[in-house]
A and B are shown apart, each in its own frame.
Chain A
Amino acid sequence: MKLIQARAFGEIEVDERQIIDFPRGILGFQEHTRFALLDASQPPFYWLQSLTDTQTAFVLISPDVFRSDYELSLVSQELDVIDVHQEEGGELITRSSGDAAELLVFAIVTVTGDKESMTANLQGPIVINPASRLGMQGIQTDPRWMTKHYILQEMAVKGSR
């Protein structure tokens, strides 16, 4: 166990396995290379808390919650960052759940006072390899995935499918 400072919780104890290194940081936050992945008090959200700066923390959500059709593509240069190696090299296309259970995929949430306008970023998903405790932000070029997806609206669409 390790004691960390979290913006949402103050000082808390976390398991070493919750500490994830981001060798290349997150876009715009390249100097933050170590984070803790925490359950938020409000499910289904999580916190990605910077260990470089207590005030820097991101709210995360699993894309499964609102887009069951989400899939992302990662190339071998990206997979190298999180120590995932494929025999053939090239591109890995993975669903956010099921067949790629060995990788954790999250979308960063932009929180707003009005719940309806809360958005999630599916163009720059956070991908974590729990085995190596390494993470990265993978840029998606599929035009379906944008930086702003209205979570509640897309949940409603998903529910009516």
Chain B
Amino acid sequence: MLVLTRKINEAIIIGDDIEIAVVDIKGDQVKLGIRAPRSVKVYRHEVYEAIQDENRRAAESAGDLTSLGGFPPVTGPSSNSDDGDGSR
């Protein structure tokens, strides 16, 4: 990992069109300003971790399928009510 030291109001550039600036520092909190094209998604790392953790839980949980039966009939326009096969 490249490590750079920056002060308030200093920035770094990634590639041609991504800029990350240090907007404020208070105690152990750093406020960053990010300028990036709309084609690039920017999110906190925790979001990535949360989805990864949930994927793992889902993959482990998929063994317990008995509770999937007898799901309430789906309402609304997306309903295809062809599930009359008495699954309980």
Please classify how large the interface on chain B is, using the bins under 10, 10 to 19, 20 to 34, 35 or more.
35 or more
At the interface, yes or no: B29 with Cβ under 8 Å from chain A?
no
CA A78 to CA B39, docked complex, whole Å? 8
Are the CB atoms of B67 and A118 closer together than 8 Å?
Answer: yes
Is B47 an interface residue, CB under 8 A from the partner? yes
Q: A139 at the A/B interface (Cβ < 8 Å)? A: yes
From A68, A78, A114, A147, contact of B41 by CB (8 A): A78
- Pair A42/B65 contact, Cβ less than 8 Å: yes
Q: Do B58 and A97 have beta carbons less than 8 Å apart?
A: no
| Chain B residue nearest to A47 in the complex (CB) | B62
CB contact between B54 and one of A62, A64, A110, A118 (< 8 Å): that residue: A110
B39 touches A90 (CB 8 A): yes
Contact between A45 and B71 (Cβ–Cβ < 8 Å)? Answer: yes
B residues less than 8 Å from A118 (CB atoms): 67
Set of chain A residues within 8 Å of B62, measured between Cβ atoms: 7, 57-59, 111
CB contact under 8 A between A64 and B58, given known A27-B52, A28-B52, A111-B64: no
B62 to chain A, nearest CB (A): 5
B40-78, CB < 8 A from A:
40-43, 47-48, 50-59, 61-72, 74-76, 78
**C-beta contact mask, B20-54 vs A, less than 8 Å → 1, else 0?**
00000000000000000111111100011011111
Counting CB contacts under 8 A, is B5 at the interface? Answer: no
Partner of B55 from the list A42, A108, A159 (CB cut-off 8 Å) is: A108
Can you list 5 pairs linking A and B with CB atoms under 8 Å apart?
A28-B55, A77-B41, A111-B58, A118-B67, A121-B58
Known: A40-B65, A40-B68, A57-B62. 12 other contacts (CB 8 A): A7-B62, A28-B53, A28-B56, A42-B87, A44-B83, A57-B59, A75-B38, A77-B39, A78-B41, A111-B68, A113-B67, A124-B54
Which B residues are closer than 8 A to A by beta carbons?
Answer: 37-43, 47-48, 50-59, 61-72, 74-76, 78, 82-83, 87
